[in-house]
Amino acid sequence: KIYCLTLFLIFNCFVKGEKLAPFSNHSQKDDIENMLSDKVFTLIEVKQLDKELKKYKANASVWIYSKPTKEDPYYTIYVGYNGPLRYETRYNFRIKQNYINKSNFQQYVELWNWYDKYVPLLQWRKNNHKPVS
């Protein structure tokens, strides 16, 4: 019963476009992840996706998939739609922890190009004729 309740709470959180919070006391890491989620929502791609999804009475959802480690200094962030059957990722971003607080945040964000590697977001926009603002 507890397992089902936990799954229900996790699913409910994603459907509402909220990010999951750990079952622990509030910490500085929570603040960093909240700030990171807020900044990701300012990206043009995420705003456009959210606008697109609103036509279907849904919202874009941010999922902080992985946190920095000694071996991998990046936060990996998935952005997409949390559907009733699965999470549908539209964008896969990453950023190094020490760049999150930068005022020119977008300059340090990288995007998985779905072929073979991460590329700087601004370069991806230029190559795909997306506005840079």
Q: Find out whether 15 and 48 touch, Cβ atoms under 8 Å.
A: no
Residue-wise pLDDT tens digits, 12-34: 444 445 444 443 444 555 788 99
pLDDT at 83: 85
pLDDT at 5: 37
pLDDT at 29: 59
The pTM score is: 0.72
> Mean pLDDT in the chain?
80
Residue-wise pLDDT tens digits, 103-117: 899 999 999 987 789
Kindly tell me if the per-residue pLDDT of 4 is higher than 60.
no
Residue-wise pLDDT tens digits, 72-92: 999 999 999 988 888 899 999
If we measure between CA atoms, which residue out of 103, 105, 28 comes closest to residue 67? 28
| Residue 49 neighbours by CB distance under 10 Å | 19
